[in-house]
């Protein structure tokens, strides 16, 4: 469930390469190659398959084993595709072929609008099966079609905070108390950037304030109520106030020297965590687990978490049941169980993936090791507070590629090639035109 708008893309290159080759060679003719696992039948045992990408944490938190113990006639198998951009095209082709899908299929937030708008008839309407009020309203809204069909149940969400290195802040002579820091930048990411300028004046050698301009861009954009599309599904990215604020803030970072100029989810970024070369990172809940993993023992007790300037949501997923599933009833029951508040709390305890069910918040407990690692920061309260004030955001069919064009073409050209913000914007514009087929 560690997801981002780029999906969770830790390069598992072998899998990627293999999938790419088959994808390229066989294209669409290959849809129904491995109709998985529906051969349950024998001995009354039903095998359910769960298709996910990245680390969802169900297995890690022992949920499958628990469910199989509660339901002896069910066997669960998880099919993981590591990269979202490999996973999703595969799901799309299989959904349309009506064959080869898993009984439960995960949907990333960046793809959910596409699923709602183009694949709604391929998914079971879960709205009648569950008590919708257990999820945050905006989470439900993202997976609901115009005529009120709920195609996916919310798993985690990505409420945002800022993670920072207390030790580096101290060396740079900045405030280190998380509450006072949050006060300093409250309401405006611009103030956060201003603090970055302060930081750079006395920055410990070899360190920068933030990992990348793109991460600042995403942090700002994910708190805005308007992104690339309006409520009615029209492309408005060029005029969107959210995009403009996010772009301008990111440009301020990109044209200063406060960015370590890393690309998220790439190896040098991981090394940046390990070597403490940047002092802050925009921190959706799932980032906690990532920092733990990458910063390692050396970062223990040096990281801290403060509330973000504005609340926002970065990442998060849904699970849906394709109508092609041969065990719909069992699959719906499993999906319901996996996304119930109690189970979400268990995943949080293991992976720090933040629940989309508010009733779980009172029971949330991060692992002791996590708390200790982040200087005893009350991460549960910080993320809960953020989660409750996140605006409803409307995503569009081409949300992902538009976002990639702005960050990986536009911002990167400014940040790494020294182009002017105008040139970066133009390059992104040209790219987006290509994406939208204009």
Kindly write out the interface string for residues 368-407 of this chain, putting x where it contacts another protein by CB under 8 A and - elsewhere.
Answer: -----------------------------xx-xx--x---
DSSP per-residue letters across 96-124: HHT-S--SEEEEEHHHHHHHHHHSGGGB-
# chain residues binding another protein, by CB under 8 A: 51
Q: Is 24 in the site for another protein (CB under 8 A)?
A: yes
Please identify, among the stretches 185-193, 237-245, 248-256, 257-265, the one whose residues bind another protein according to the rule CB under 8 A.
257-265
Q: Which residues contact 287 (CB under 8 A, 6 or more apart)?
A: 2, 163, 281
Catalogue the E-assigned strands of 212-312. Answer: 278-284, 303-307
Q: Is 197 in the site for another protein (CB under 8 A)?
A: no
Q: Work out how close the CB of 4 gets to another protein at its nearest, in angstroms, rounded to a whole number.
A: 10
Question: Which single residue is written with the structure tokens 């309203």?
Answer: 137
Q: Work out how close the CB of 121 gets to another protein at its nearest, in angstroms, rounded to a whole number.
A: 11
With H, G, I as helix, E, B as strand and everything else as coil, classify residue 203: coil
Q: Work out how close the CB of 107 gets to another protein at its nearest, in angstroms, rounded to a whole number.
A: 12
**Count of positions (residues) in the chain:** 438
Q: Work out how close the CB of 410 gets to another protein at its nearest, in angstroms, rounded to a whole number.
A: 8
In this structure, what token pair is assigned to residue 331?
Answer: 């699959």
Q: Work out how close the CB of 277 gets to another protein at its nearest, in angstroms, rounded to a whole number.
A: 9
Q: Is 28 in the site for another protein (CB under 8 A)?
A: yes
Q: Which residues contact 358 (CB under 8 A, 6 or more apart)?
A: 134, 135, 136, 384, 387, 388
The residue within the footprint of another protein, chosen from 20, 80, 333, 349 (CB under 8 A), is 20
Give how far Cα 235 sits from Cα of 77, 119, 163, 231, Å.
39, 20, 33, 10
Q: Is 221 in the site for another protein (CB under 8 A)?
A: no
CA distance 158 to 283: 9
What number of helices (H) and strands (E) belong to the chain?
19, 9
List residues binding another protein (CB under 8 A). Answer: 6, 9, 11, 13-14, 16-17, 20-21, 23-29, 85-86, 89, 92-93, 96, 114, 118-119, 261, 263-268, 271, 397-398, 400-401, 404, 408-410, 412-413, 416-417, 427, 430-431, 434-435, 437
């Amino acid at each position: 469930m560690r997801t981002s708008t780029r999906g969770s893309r830790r390069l598992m290159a072998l899998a990627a390469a293999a999938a790419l080759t088959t994808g390229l060679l066989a294209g669409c003719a290959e849809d129904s190659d491995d109709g998985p696992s529906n051969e349950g039948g024998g001995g009354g045992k039903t095998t359910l398959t769960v298709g996910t990408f990245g680390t969802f944490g169900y297995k890690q938190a022992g949920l499958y084993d628990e469910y199989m113990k509660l339901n002896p006639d069910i066997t669960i198998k998880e099919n993981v595709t590591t990269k979202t951009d490999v996973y999703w095209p595969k799901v799309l082709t299989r959904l349309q072929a009506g064959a080869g899908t898993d009984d439960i299929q995960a949907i990333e937030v960046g793809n959910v609008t596409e699923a709602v708008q183009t694949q709604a008839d391929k998914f079971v309407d879960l709205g009648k099966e569950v008590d919708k009020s257990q999820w945050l309203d905006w989470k439900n809204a993202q997976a609901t079609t115009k005529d009120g069909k709920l195609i996916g149940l919310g798993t985690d969400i990505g409420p945002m905070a800022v993670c920072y290195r207390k030790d580096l802040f101290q060396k740079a002579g900045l405030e280190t108390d998380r509450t006072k820091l949050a006060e300093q930048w409250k309401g405006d990411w611009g103030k956060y950037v201003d603090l970055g300028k302060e930081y750079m004046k006395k920055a410990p050698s070899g360190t920068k304030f933030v990992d990348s301009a793109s991460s600042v861009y995403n942090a700002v954009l994910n708190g805005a109520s308007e992104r690339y599309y309006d409520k009615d599904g029209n492309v408005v990215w060029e005029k969107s106030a959210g995009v403009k604020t996010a772009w301008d803030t990111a440009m301020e970072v990109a044209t200063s020297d406060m960015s370590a100029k890393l690309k998220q989810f790439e190896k040098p970024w991981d090394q940046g965590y390990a070597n403490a070369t940047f002092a802050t990172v925009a921190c959706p809940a799932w980032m906690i687990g990532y920092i733990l993993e990458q910063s390692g023992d050396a970062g223990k007790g040096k990281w801290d978490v403060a509330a973000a300037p504005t609340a926002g949501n970065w990442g998060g997923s849904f699970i849906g049941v394709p109508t092609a599933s041969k065990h719909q009833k069992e699959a719906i029951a499993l999906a319901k169980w996996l996304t119930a508040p109690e189970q979400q709390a268990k995943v949080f305890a293991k992976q720090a993936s933040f629940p989309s069910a508010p009733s779980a918040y009172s029971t949330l407990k991060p692992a002791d090791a996590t708390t200790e690692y982040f200087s005893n920061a009350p991460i549960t309260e910080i993320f809960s507070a953020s989660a409750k004030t996140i605006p409803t955001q409307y995503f569009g069919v081409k949300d992902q590629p538009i976002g990639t064009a702005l960050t990986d073409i536009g911002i990167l050209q400014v940040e790494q090639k020294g182009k002017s913000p105008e040139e970066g914007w133009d390059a992104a514009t040209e790219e987006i035109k290509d994406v939208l087929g204009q």
